[in-house]
Amino acid sequence: MSAQSPAFDERAGEEALSTRPASLWRDTLRAILHQRNAIVGLTILGVLVFAAVFAPLIAPYGPDDTVGITEGIPVRSGSCIHLLGCAATQPQHILGVDGNGRDLFTRVLFGARISLQIGFLTVGFAIIIGTFIGSVAGYAGGWLDNILMRVMDVLLAFPALILAILIVTVLGTSLINAQLAIGIVAIPIYARVMRASVLSIKERDFVVASRALGAPTRAILSRRILPTALPPLLVQGTLGIAGAVLDVAALSFLGLGAPPPLAEWGSMIGNERLAVFAAPHLIFWPGLAISLTVRGMNVLGDGLRDALDPRLNR
């Protein structure tokens, strides 16, 4: 019997990798929708996405309009809702106005845009870089694994927020630099998660069989190992969005993130921190928005973990 050619082996390996259970995505979605935490988290995320997308239609004013000054309303005034007894002769401001006479409800709505952008872009950047580093380190092993992981350990040795402040200080104060700093700080987390998954998956029978059939290394990583390693990475990424929102809010609070007059929840709290007793609503509403966002993402992450973990999914 003649030996099979390398081209035949590679073609057979590609065909073996192309097989997919037709019901994989349907079963995954069903498992997620059976988790109460996931449903609650998706509901909160849906409300945030709705507010961010339709903010220009929902908000009664522009985020930078000093309507309080033009309407003769004292700055940092409380809410005025006509249905709740506020005089009809007074302009309606659902959550009041800030120290510059801007409508607080409008700015909280537009702040959802900034927070979602921060969370998804920052975590997406960290996941892409961390997945590449972790998959290469875990699959290659040896000296390359040691070098890459030691670099990740150096980054993990610094407190995340302190390292982010250092990076922003070096790069300059801006929202983009704040997102980049938080993304760089988060890369080691996803790299280590991906490496651990690759180490546990690369010796499984279906990976060994694909390697024996002559499948290329790139195809094995992208079609066999990566899809199997996605669940823990997805859960960690969902939890990471909450952390990114908090970290960028902290940088903005310190004046290292979103520049004024951009409507960002952390900077809104930082700008009015001295009026916490005179006008507590200016701190409460942006703080509540941050809390709901973080809570929603954490609950969604817990639900995804319960749904995607085969040890918990019975």
3-state SS class at 65: coil
Q: Is the model's pLDDT at 275 over the cut of 70?
A: yes
Longest dimension (CA), the chain: 96
Q: 186 near 240, Cβ under 8 Å?
A: yes
User: Comparing 14 with 208, which gets the higher pLDDT?
Assistant: 208
Q: Please list the alpha-helical segments (H only) found in the chain.
A: 6-17, 24-33, 36-53, 55-58, 67-70, 104-140, 142-156, 160-171, 175-201, 205-212, 217-219, 226-253, 265-271, 281-308
Q: Is the model's pLDDT at 125 over the cut of 90?
A: yes
Evaluate if pTM is beyond 0.95: no
The Cα–Cα gap between 287 and 249 comes to: 10
Provide the pLDDT for residue 311.
55
Residue 103, beta-bridge partner list: 97
Tens digits of residue pLDDT in 131-154: 999 988 888 888 988 999 999 998
Q: Is the model's pLDDT at 3 over the cut of 60?
A: no
Lowest mean pLDDT among 11-15, 244-248, 289-293: 11-15
Other beta carbons within 10 angstroms of residue 10's beta carbon come to 15
